[in-house]
Amino acid sequence: MKFTGFPARSRYTPLPNVLFSDVLPRIEDIAELKILLVIMWRLYSKRGYPRFVTYRELLGDQVVAGLGGGGRSPEEALRQGLEKAVERGTLIQLRAEKDGEHEEIYLLNSEEGRRVAEGLSSGQVALPGVQPMPEPVPVGERPNIFELYEQNIGMLTPMIADELKQAEADYPPAWVEDAFKEAVSLNKRSWRYIQRILERWAAEGKDDGEPGRHPEAKDDTEKYFRGKYGHIFQR
């Protein structure tokens, strides 16, 4: 459908001139550009302080829903666009916890955004309904597969949780962590892609010489009912 034109009394979202002079000429991925514009629009539309946009908000945006193509799903395009914007320095990414779930928060890398980020780091600024992330896992301890998924891909669903539980039983912990690292390094933030990596290593072998199935895997399904994600599983 052809756009009929801007109405006479349109509302406007101000954009900094540097976006057009310094940033726009360097952006090659249309997903990065669309996501940056959506975040700038959402931040300007919000009231109160501090202003921020969450990953969940972006997932529900109609512009994001139209991303994808070229072998990418809309969520993969969103992930890659956000990564590029954070790497370029136009966005600031923070990790927090909301209602017991990990939450990704995005701020514009502006004077206000940097002030909020510094305030959160020092504890002088609090985000409504959001708590700082707990202390990181001590060195030497591996995060479990659910945490790896949430940190690198997104929100956990019951169907994915069941597949992750099976993968944790089938493959050595080091393989799982390495598969996530490989997928992230290639900007392939998809559980299906990680699954294919693990299946390939199990079929063809991995250069560390470990067997395909976790030799010490036990059928300890009770740990999933006892843990943080116990509400997802049914007995």
CATH number of 175's domain: 1.10.10.630
Confidence bin at 10 (pLDDT 50/70/90): confident
Lowest-pLDDT choice from 17-21, 54-58, 113-117, 143-147: 143-147
Give the model's pLDDT for residue 108: 93
Q: In this prediction, what percent of the chain has a pLDDT beyond 90?
A: 27
Whether residue 103 contacts residue 54, with contact meaning beta carbons closer than 8 Å, is answered with yes
- The residues near 183 (Cβ < 8 Å, ≥ 6 apart) are 152, 189, 190, 193, 194, 197
Give the model's pLDDT for residue 98: 67
Instruction: Please determine, for residue 209, whether its predicted confidence score (pLDDT) is greater than 80.
Output: no
Q: What is the pLDDT of residues 16-69, one digit of tens each?
A: 999 999 999 999 999 999 999 999 999 999 888 888 898 988 988 888 788 877
Segment 170-199 shows an average pLDDT of 89
Q: For residues 105 and 171, state if they share a domain.
A: no
Domain assignment of residue 51, yes or no: yes
Domain assignment of residue 137, yes or no: no
Q: What pTM did the predictor assign?
A: 0.55
Q: For residues 41 and 121, state if they share a domain.
A: yes
Q: What is the pLDDT of residues 83-99, one digit of tens each?
A: 999 999 999 988 777 66
CATH number of 110's domain: 1.10.10.10
Instruction: Please determine, for residue 186, whether its predicted confidence score (pLDDT) is greater than 60.
Output: yes
Domain assignment of residue 24, yes or no: yes
Q: For residues 117 and 27, state if they share a domain.
A: yes
Q: For residues 209 and 157, state if they share a domain.
A: yes
Lowest-pLDDT choice from 83-97, 122-136, 211-225: 211-225
Whether residue 190 contacts residue 73, with contact meaning beta carbons closer than 8 Å, is answered with yes
216 is in which domain, residue-wise? Answer: 145-232
Give the model's pLDDT for residue 140: 52
37, 41, 26, 39: which is closest to 88 by C-alpha?
26
Instruction: Scan for tokens 């302080």, then name that residue.
Output: 49
Confidence bin at 187 (pLDDT 50/70/90): confident
Domain assignment of residue 162, yes or no: yes
Please state, in angstroms and rounded to a whole number, the distance separating the CA atoms of residues 169 and 144.
11
Give the model's pLDDT for residue 218: 46
Please state, in angstroms and rounded to a whole number, the distance separating the CA atoms of residues 62 and 88.
24
The CA distances from residue 151 to 143, 183, 212, 222, in Å, are 10, 13, 25, 24
Q: Highest mean pLDDT: which of 33-42, 144-153, 167-176, 177-186?
A: 33-42
Domain assignment of residue 139, yes or no: no
Higher pLDDT, 130 or 109: 109
DSSP string, 182-212: HHHHTT---HHHHHHHHHHHHHH--TT---S
Q: For residues 39 and 126, state if they share a domain.
A: yes
Q: For residues 28 and 110, state if they share a domain.
A: yes
